[in-house]
Structure 1
Amino acid sequence: MPEPSAADRILAAVRAIPRGQVAGYGEIARRAGLPGRARLAARVLSGNADPALPWHRVLRADGRIAFPEGSAGFREQSRRLRSEGVEVRNGRVRRARAAFDLDAEVWGVR
């Protein structure tokens, strides 16, 4: 059986983010076994057409939404995050320091 592609691993990492949680592009790349490839994660997400993919749970490393403020994508991502109980203020999500604990739970890494 062939090994999953980098894109498939990135998409699997995005699908594994629990409802109401968020992750950065760099975290997604690391969880997919591609450390240092945050831009690749962003590129894979930008080209994805799967409406079930929880793309809205992925943010910049500083917790900001990557879409330009006021754009349709920005408004949609804010709406989706809020619908899951995530607080979005001025286009930013204040992230808990528990991201590494989430990694341990989901991926078995510290």
Structure 2
Amino acid sequence: MRILVVDDLRTNAKLLEHMLKNKATVLTVLSGQEAIDICGSTEFDVILMDIMMPGMDGMETAIRIKENGFKGRVIFVTAYREFADPSMSDGIILKPVDQEVLMRKVFING
């Protein structure tokens, strides 16, 4: 399984990468534009995306990635559930991330 982690805070992105690295191939990027760019050349099964990012937020990024043909799952990872539109994603994981919840959302429900 190939997973893209999108979070403007490097420590958050690396934490998710560390939690997943033994079960999947994980790539991290730090902005919505980087996510759009990498999805143009690399296929992913799942994108784990922060919502609150400077510039392009996670919801706008998800819309643009899907418009470009992404067929995998987008799961928002956020501390701000009230900003997450469930219709725009395949799930929501609340920060701080619980590893058991992460594994269940990424691998069991997928």
TM-score range, shorter chain: 0.3 to 0.5
Greater Rg, structure 1 or structure 2? Answer: 1
Whichever structure has more helix as a proportion of its residues is 1
